[in-house]
Amino acid sequence: MSNLSIYHKLEDVVGCKWSVSVLLAVDSGIIRPGALERHISGISKKVLSERLRKLTSYGLLEKISFPEVPPRTEYSLTTSGKKLIKIIEQIHALDSELQQDKHR
């Protein structure tokens, strides 16, 4: 896989506000699609489904389907997803630090 391909994947995840919102929500314990849709203000069912599919295909989320009636699906962070959450938290901390420095 070329470096360019890796950067395109990273941009698709981190560059999309919905991806970060979904990852952060799952990290906070919101793991079912309906709950995610209600929690993430402004996201449509279609966009949420697309983001869940993409984040799962990138290996950041794991989809767990339960053979119940009605069917139940839950998502969890993979090890890579947890690592990305730590990086997102570091970026947030840096941004906060930069904002404080800007106001001094």
Q: Which domain holds residue 25?
A: 3-102
pLDDT tops 80 at residue 82: yes
Q: What average pLDDT score do residues 43-53 get?
A: 96
Positive or negative CA dihedral for 36, 41, 45, 46?
negative
Number of domains in the chain: 1
Q: What is the pTM of this model?
A: 0.86
pLDDT band at 3 (very low <50, low <70, confident <90, very high): low
Gyration radius of the chain's alpha carbons: 15
Identify the pLDDT of residue 13: 79
Residue showing tokens 């290996």 = 59
Identify the pLDDT of residue 10: 76
Percentage with pLDDT > 70 across the chain? 96
Contacts of 61 (CB under 8 A, 6+ apart): 22, 23, 26, 52, 55, 75, 76, 77, 78, 81
| CATH assignment at residue 87 | 1.10.10.10
pLDDT tops 90 at residue 77: yes
pLDDT tops 60 at residue 97: yes
Q: What average pLDDT score do residues 11-33 get?
A: 91
